[in-house]
Amino acid sequence: MNYNYIAIEGNIGAGKTSLATRIAEQYNGKLILEQFEDNSFLPKFYKDPDKYAFPLEMSFLAERYQQLKDQLTSHDLFSSFIISDYFINKSLIFARKNLEPAEYNLYYRLFHIINSSLPKPDLLVYLHVNVPKLQQNIEKRGRDYEKLIQQSYLEKIQESYLDYLRQREDMRILILDTNNIDFVANEMDYRRLVEIINKDYPKGIHRDYLEG
């Protein structure tokens, strides 16, 4: 791969983990996966968002920071690059939509204190999937607590991601519309996707629309 550190991002159900895992396996990459299933606040949040939003976002921030700090600073002689299925700045994207203004202001300050020590990805890939397809993907993987996710929640997270990405001209960002391909089941779709990701991009936002 052309990049030392790639982060795959996207809304809930976009296929981040599937893509990052497959690329890591094929190209001998060090894989970093978000451990969200271990978060005890997540099922509670989907049942009662107002009560559990702040502890959920704080616990995610602590877990993401500790994992990335450990993984990005340790050298793996047997891996040629690092690929992750999240970018820690997603913490701000979700917190801005889930927290009250006073809570978010505190969260924002804490985030920037701890984030200053972490390296940024050489390439941030955002998988753009429309909400109906996200819902299909969520239904297909069958996690009980995700059945409580409302369409309106997915829509506001999608909007928040895109608003954030438009402001980040200091990074290499690749937005890929994957609505009309299936890179999990279709080998040709997967190869085309990797080929696009592996191009040499300057800093700024780049977009590509893939047809099946």
As annotated, the active-site residues are: 85
Dihedral of the alpha carbons of 205, 75, 114, 83, in degrees to the nearest 10 = 30
User: For residue 83, how far is the Cα from the chain centroid?
Assistant: 11
Query: Tell me, what amino acid is at 210?
Result: L
Residue 109 corresponds to which tokens in the numbers above?
A: 């300050």
How many residues would you count in the chain?
Answer: 212
> Of 116, 117, 122, 120, which is closest to residue 81 (Cα–Cα)?
122
> Of 90, 87, 93, 114, which is closest to residue 32 (Cα–Cα)?
87
